[in-house]
Structure 1
Amino acid sequence: MAVRRILTIDNPADLQVLKQVSTPVAAVDDDVRALMDDMLETMYAAPGIGLAAVQIGDTRRVVVMDLGDGEPDPDAEDGEDARRPNPRYFANPEVLWASDELFAYEEGCLSIPEYFDEVKRPARVRVAYLDREGQRIEEEIEGLYAVCFQHELDHLNGVLFIDHLSRLRRERAVAKVKKTQRERAAA
């Protein structure tokens, strides 16, 4: 496993890759599982709760997530509400159905560092994907799980969460990321 560089919107070459539509995987094999492992390690190191393969420059339709909703960790320090990791793996994810009801959530993105804004998405979705073993799964999801799934699926379709914002808010996001990255480089 390896931590990979996450592409960011302030780099024109990165942005060009991030805007590509990802290609389906033929099967979940050892190569795809190795990619999933690298993605998970990269996501945890960032830290984040979801990562699409395109965010590390691989244009296959692969996503990983860990929403911090694992079982309570009995070895956690006193007073700490720690949870065991609960990684989720998705190859060729798709939305089969979406509710008319919307859910607003303040989203962030590892490719748009330190910028957050509210996005409205369907509150519930029925999804399908191949899991880490290549088994097809269908389930209805809601809440943060649904938000994250749709956010990462957007990445696979060349869409960033800021593309759901007004032009002014999108331009503000890009400017903020560029400023933050310049400040980091100067430090």
Structure 2
Amino acid sequence: MKLPIVAYGDPVLRKKAEEIDEDYPNLKQLIDDMFETMYAARGVGLAAPQVGLPIRLFVIDASPFAEDDEDGEGDPSLKDFKKVLINPIIIEEKGEKWGFSEGCLSIPDINEEVMRPSTVVINYLDEDFEEQEVELTGLAARIVQHEYDHIEGKLFVDKLGPIKKAMIKGRLDAISKGMIRVGYKMRFPNLKNKKR
């Protein structure tokens, strides 16, 4: 089932999410719904707060980045990079910071260059509640860092400088009021009881 994606301005996107255990109600269904929602919105990652749930869970499928883009810059190592991360903890961020144009399904039509460390070590539980620890670099690390920010109550626009923030403020306000057209269901915080 496709879930509505929560838009910028909703308080759930600013909450530090809570850990969950294996008894979390309908967890398997939620994970399936999150993947379906992410694919329908043509995203590569989706965190539970983005569907209104303040829990430490996100899903990723970076395979779109495996294919060559116009510059022939696809990353074949991302071909099968599909993961469910439950209660993740970033152990270490390291390496040189590099810029990449990021977007977010909760902040449609805004893409800005964000600087992040090139490598991340993350510990998490997979969908079978088996503990995993991986070191990721490049786009895989960036996607994980972006989604991890969501469960910490942070957004990619928080990483922008004051001038950039001022330049997009009007567009962010418009998103929170539902004054935007998107190709997927959204829930807007300042548009009561109306879904688009």
Aligned to 1:33: 28
1:116-149 CA-to-partner distances (Å, cap 9, x unmatched) read 1111111011111111111110011011110010
2:4 is the counterpart of 1:5: yes
Distance in 1, Cα, partners of 2:137 & 2:80: 20
Count of matched residue pairs: 171
Identity of aligned residues (%): 34
User: Any gaps of 5 or more consecutive residues in structure 2?
Assistant: 68-73, 183-196
- Superposition RMSD in Å: 2.6
- Compared CA separation, residues 107 and 59, structure 1 to 2 (3 A): same
Distance in 2, Cα, partners of 1:110 & 1:138: 27
**Shift in Å, 1:169:** 1.5
2:154 is the counterpart of 1:159: yes
SS in structure 2 opposite 1:25? coil
Task: Please identify, of 52-61 and 84-93, the stretch whose mean Cα deviation from structure 2 is larger.
Answer: 84-93
User: Any gaps of 5 or more consecutive residues in structure 1?
Assistant: 73-80
TM-score of the superposed pair, with normalisation by structure 2: 0.78
Aligned to 1:182: 179
Aligned to 1:118: 113
Are the aligned partners of 2:44 and 2:64 in contact in 1 as well (CA < 8 Å)? no
Are the aligned partners of 1:100 and 1:122 in contact in 2 as well (CA < 8 Å)? yes
2:130 is the counterpart of 1:131: no
- Compared CA separation, residues 96 and 160, structure 1 to 2 (3 A): same
TM-score of the superposed pair, with normalisation by structure 1: 0.81
Trace 1:77-92 onto structure 2 (pairs within 5 A). 87-92=82-87
SS in structure 1 opposite 2:30? helix
Distance in 2, Cα, partners of 1:111 & 1:71: 24
**Shift in Å, 1:86:** 5.1
Distance in 2, Cα, partners of 1:71 & 1:148: 13
SS in structure 2 opposite 1:47? coil
SS in structure 2 opposite 1:138? strand
Distance in 1, Cα, partners of 2:166 & 2:61: 29
**Shift in Å, 1:174:** 3.6
